[in-house]
Amino acid sequence: MSRTATAANALSALNFGLTPVFLTNDLELLTRLKAYLSRKTGRDVQLIQRRTYEEITALLLSGQLDGAWICGYPFAQFRQQLSLIAVPVWRGKPLYQSYLIAPKGRVATSIEDLKGDIHAFSDPNSNSGYLVTASLLAERKLRPDQFFRQTIFTYGHRNVVRAVASGLAQSGSVDGYVWEVMSSLEPELTAKTEIVAVSELLGFPPVACLRTQRLSEAVELLHKALIEMSEDDEGRHVLNMLKLDGFADEPETLFDTIAAKMMLVRGLGS
């Protein structure tokens, strides 16, 4: 390939970021997602993965990514700089819940029963894996470090389930979508845990971009590919692997409840 052709190909590449909200690192799923997006956009799509929400969000804010599948919490944090591309639809709605979980057999029916626990969070910038629980405590004028004996960050919702199932943690905060999908794919693991409480319905982790790039060709192509995913055979296969119905256009107000939780927690200095 000539230097000119190589440069043109590099310019046409589309960088799509994936945070730990993404269900799995399964190679087949990533390969199929990359193939679908590349075909539908006509671009060389590169899937960019990092360990934390903060790392992917930083790449997105610095313009190094055309779009990223992030979480509602980072979207609320940087709402002035970010714009929605599409929101996943799960069980017919662009919504999900946060679960408080404990080991199977533990007698617990509310967050009050978890006081003094070693508690597993997913990520400090996760809505379902941190913010929801922190806001529950903020309503009680408490910070997580004041309520729990110890907190750990596992940097992955699956890891929260593993920590609680193995006894490493006495309770945990986890993405309800991930827990439910794990229940169908790894029932022997989730069977070692049980749900203590669930949050209200909240905006599903969205795909977002820089607000200044929302009308760029790359973002428009990505938007079209996601919205039309459920109408494409290969796209439906990827959605089936993700246990999602598809992607939809949703208003930014979908994340107002998460933003309110963020302000509540910030007000307490958490």
Do both 106 and 87 map to the same domain? no
Query: Is 259 part of any domain?
Result: no
Query: Is 73 part of any domain?
Result: yes
Do both 73 and 124 map to the same domain? no
Query: Is 191 part of any domain?
Result: yes
Do both 111 and 159 map to the same domain? yes
Do both 74 and 106 map to the same domain? no
Measure CA 230 to chain center. Answer: 20
Three-state secondary-structure class, residue 225:
helix
Residues of the chain with pLDDT under 50: 1-11
Crossing angle for the helix pair 233-242 and 27-41, nearest 10 degrees? 140
Q: What is the pLDDT of residue 4?
A: 36
Query: Is 216 part of any domain?
Result: yes
Do both 235 and 195 map to the same domain? no
- How many domains does the chain contain in total? 2
Query: Is 266 part of any domain?
Result: no
Q: What is the pLDDT of residues 198-244, one digit of tens each?
A: 999 999 999 999 999 999 999 999 999 999 999 999 999 999 999 99
Q: Which domain holds residue 69?
A: 3-94+203-253
Do both 102 and 141 map to the same domain? yes
The CATH number of residue 207's host domain is 3.40.190.10
What is the C-alpha to C-alpha distance for residues 139 and 142, in angstroms, rounded to an integer? 7
Q: What is the pLDDT of residue 270?
A: 59
Three-state secondary-structure class, residue 50:
coil
Q: What is the pLDDT of residue 265?
A: 96
Q: What is the pLDDT of residue 12?
A: 78
Query: Is 64 part of any domain?
Result: yes
Residue 196 near residue 113, CB atoms below 8 Å: yes
Q: What is the pLDDT of residue 1?
A: 38
Task: Name the domain boundary from 199, 215, 242.
Answer: 199
Q: What is the pLDDT of residues 124-139, one digit of tens each?
A: 999 999 999 999 999 9
Do both 109 and 34 map to the same domain? no
Do both 190 and 213 map to the same domain? no
Do both 50 and 69 map to the same domain? yes
Query: Is 128 part of any domain?
Result: yes
What are the DSSP calls for 11-31, one per residue?
Answer: HH-EEEEE-TTSS---HHHHH
Do both 89 and 8 map to the same domain? yes
Do both 176 and 218 map to the same domain? no
What is the C-alpha to C-alpha distance for residues 184 and 243, in angstroms, rounded to an integer? 10
C-beta atoms surrounding 1 within 10 Å: 8
Query: Is 224 part of any domain?
Result: yes
Do both 105 and 184 map to the same domain? yes
Three-state secondary-structure class, residue 91:
coil
What is the C-alpha to C-alpha distance for residues 198 and 22, in angstroms, rounded to an integer? 20
